[in-house]
Structure 1
Amino acid sequence: MELRGWDQLDVLLINGDAYVDHPTFGIPALARWFERRGLRVGIVPQPRVDCSDDILRMGRPRLFVGVSAGTVDSMINNYTANKKVRSDDMYSEGGRAYRKIPVTSVARADGARGAAFKEERIRPDYATIAYAKLARQAFPDVPVIAGGVEISLRRLAHFDYWQNRIRPSMLVECDADLVVFGMGERTAIRIAEDFKKASELSGGPLSLSHDATRAALKRLKGERGIAFTCSREESKEIQPRLKIPSFEEVRDDKRKFSKAAYFIEYEASPYNGRRLMQDHGQKTVVINPPALPLSQEEMDSIYELPFCKEQHPMYKERIPAADMIRFSVASTRGCFGGCSFCAITLHQGRI
């Protein structure tokens, strides 16, 4: 920030992966996309979640905080299919899943004092929830926007393999004001532009207590690719909509679960998909229709951004995922298949 002459960021992005400036890593790609539009962007990769020190280093952002679990769902990164804890993480420095954290100094036998360390997972379980709560704790009045594959695929009630139970929508547990689901470049730019206008109207950094911020959030709740929660009373005013079986119903009835899953798949098309709603107790999760896919020109403009395609120089060891995709070329997005073991269709669409 000092080298660039910045006194404040516009957008702060929190990421579950180590920082690799490559378009296959979502948060760095989004940061470049924002930067192209004149925004001041900072990235905090893999912050500690037991304190706010890491995300406070660059100060309070002017517009919003964005959070993502990373390129892969955090539970897949942290556990094997046999539910064993992984010791490695391809998206972390040295491929390690753990790091040592100094806790205090301890007396040694020779009378000198040395540092004591504890090991902690670099990426927390259900990282989107952890990072959103961390952002809210550090910046209580700043809008928090969540996105990425983890919350996109958990945006409605779902079966969690690791806990062997039906979990509620991650939106209910995640302390975010808005969620961007699917491939979110176009939606994210709309959010940034609306928040920038709101900041100009309010004459300073955005705050959830400002009328301009609340008005911007209200407008954005009508945009494609956006999901949010509201009270059940408020949800009655939102039209058009398709109500699917509630969390309580899908938790207790397998047929209702199957019915909800059918509607989620059936309404996933950006061209004719309808707005979905699912009650969770006194709250309702609202899922707007998916964002339209990018044109060829738009996609080319993203991948042609000035990525250095290297990991950040602060890392002393290689990041395995960075080596794996170093010479990769993206030719398309989405998949027509819809295989049961793959999330691409549901996250990126069929085109």
Structure 2
Amino acid sequence: MPDQPTSLFGYRKHWAECLGPAPWLPMSRPEMEQLGWDSCDIIIVSGDGYVDHPSFGMAVIGRVLEAQGFRVGMLAQPDWQSAEPFTALGQPNLFFGVTAGNMDSMINHYTADRKRRNDDAYTPGNISGKRPDRAVTVYSQRLKEAYRDVPIIVGGIEASLRRIAHYDYWSDRVKRSVLLDSRADLLVFGNAERAIVDIAHRLANGEKVADLTDIRGTAFVTQHPPANRTLIDSTSVDEPGRIKAHPNPYEGMEPEPCAEGQTEDNNEPAPVRLMASSKQDTHAIRLPSAEAVTEDPVLYAHASRVFHKETNPHNALPLIQAHGDREVWLNPPPIPLETDELDWVFELPYQRLPHPSCGDAAVPAM
């Protein structure tokens, strides 16, 4: 895994850059026709109402992809009772991007007492019930019904939190990775700008989605782990069982006073150096299987600790977890954006308003 990723400014723009930015990412065929588009390259499906503002994840991803020269459409809160609403913009040339929105759909719908909420701050008019439970899975399944062969890339907080076997509070049981239930081709976790731009350009250049296995911040399902990887058992990284308290090396010691005329060192602290791991390209950590963590709470806690330890993008190792006869592979997290890249993302031509289809209905989260 390269520790110096391609800059967001380092890609050759897709041909549609010549069309310029759209006033709004289109949500209907008439809007596409006004822009002179015959198709979309990428269509984003979101559980939030469409607010073209950088505090809404789907707007950020949409505008970032648009700035790379792609024609991006938006399906905000489609009716999930059938596959037909998911065909409103036609078939995209590259892929569908699916997100539940800025919130996990289950937290959006239910209180901690599992009582149904009666409002939704991310929906025009603060109306609840405009997205399904477990929206990532439901949206992806409907898209597979409508367009079986089009790649589906899932992301956002709901997908990120469910990328390995995880405890589901609402059903009070351990569920398998969302990749398996959604049948998505790739899962993008964390800050997705780098990964989604790389995915879009590589698919546009003719690569197959099944070959995109080396992108940071992504997870996918495979039959076999890469042959060139040495798998490390997770128990060699963290011992299952109760966590032992770390001894205090200073216990019982009294600080010695400074000698006469001596002062404490007032040197400026040196900046922290992020040391890259030499094993990121050669090793991976095998977590206990989904079946094992379902049956054994101790192994579940152990897997969760290892999962959370491997989050530093500069030295985290890939993770792999068996789900029956398939494997879920997690690449290391993405390298954070540089200052100029982050500034560029927030300076893109957002309208900073709800889409006109919202009418006069306010979106409270804005």
Which category describes the TM-score, using the shorter chain as reference length? 0.7 to 0.9
Report the residue type matching 2:365 in the other structure.
A
Q: CA deviation at 1:238?
A: 5.6
Q: Give the aligned partner of residue 297 of structure 2.
A: 254
On the 8 A contact 2:122/2:364 being kept in 1, the answer is: yes
CA distance in 1, matches of 2:153, 2:336: 21
TM-score by length of 1: 0.78
User: SS in structure 2 opposite 1:14?
Assistant: strand
Q: Give the aligned partner of residue 153 of structure 2.
A: 145
Q: Give the aligned partner of residue 128 of structure 1.
A: 136
Q: Are positions 1:228 and 2:228 aligned together?
A: no
Q: CA-to-partner distance for each residue in 1:191-214, whole Å, 9 max, x for gaps?
A: 00001111xxxxxxxxxxxxx52x
Report the residue type matching 1:256 in the other structure.
L
User: SS in structure 2 opposite 1:297?
Assistant: helix
Task: List aligned pairs for 1:41-120, cutoff 5 A.
Answer: 41-97=72-128
Higher strand share: 1
CA distance in 1, matches of 2:170, 2:94: 36
Q: CA deviation at 1:217?
A: 3.0
Q: Are positions 1:181 and 2:189 aligned together?
A: yes
Q: Give the aligned partner of residue 318 of structure 1.
A: 362
CA distance in 1, matches of 2:131, 2:347: 30
CA distance in 1, matches of 2:296, 2:95: 39
Q: Which runs of 5+ in 2 are unaligned?
A: 1-31, 230-282
User: SS in structure 2 opposite 1:256?
Assistant: helix
Q: CA deviation at 1:135?
A: 1.2
Pick aligned residue for 1:268 from 276, 289, 311 = 311
Q: Which runs of structure 1 show a deviation greater than 6 angstroms over 4 or more consecutive aligned residues?
A: none
On the 8 A contact 2:54/2:60 being kept in 1, the answer is: yes
User: SS in structure 1 opposite 2:34?
Assistant: coil
Q: Give the aligned partner of residue 166 of structure 1.
A: 174
How many aligned positions are there?
281
Q: CA-to-partner distance for each residue in 1:63-102, whole Å, 9 max, x for gaps?
A: 11110010010000010011001111111111111xxxxx
User: SS in structure 2 opposite 1:18?
Assistant: coil
Task: List aligned pairs for 1:332-343, cutoff 5 A.
Answer: none
CA distance in 1, matches of 2:137, 2:335: 27
User: SS in structure 1 opposite 2:329?
Assistant: strand
Q: CA deviation at 1:284?
A: 0.9
Q: CA deviation at 1:48?
A: 0.9
User: SS in structure 2 opposite 1:270?
Assistant: coil
On the 8 A contact 2:179/2:220 being kept in 1, the answer is: yes
User: SS in structure 2 opposite 1:318?
Assistant: coil
CA distance in 1, matches of 2:114, 2:336: 35
Q: Are positions 1:7 and 2:32 aligned together?
A: no
Of all paired residues, the percent bearing the same amino acid is 40
CA distance in 2, matches of 1:236, 1:270: 20
CA distance in 2, matches of 1:224, 1:38: 22
Q: Which runs of 5+ in 1 are unaligned?
A: 98-120, 199-211, 323-351
User: SS in structure 1 opposite 2:96?
Assistant: strand
The structure whose RCO (Cα within 8 Å, separation 6+) is larger is 2
* Bigger radius of gyration: 2
TM-score by length of 2: 0.75
User: SS in structure 1 opposite 2:35?
Assistant: coil
User: SS in structure 1 opposite 2:52?
Assistant: coil
Task: List aligned pairs for 1:13-32, cutoff 5 A.
Answer: 13-32=44-63
Superposition RMSD in Å: 1.1
Q: CA deviation at 1:157?
A: 1.0
Q: CA deviation at 1:269?
A: 0.8
CA distance in 2, matches of 1:53, 1:45: 14
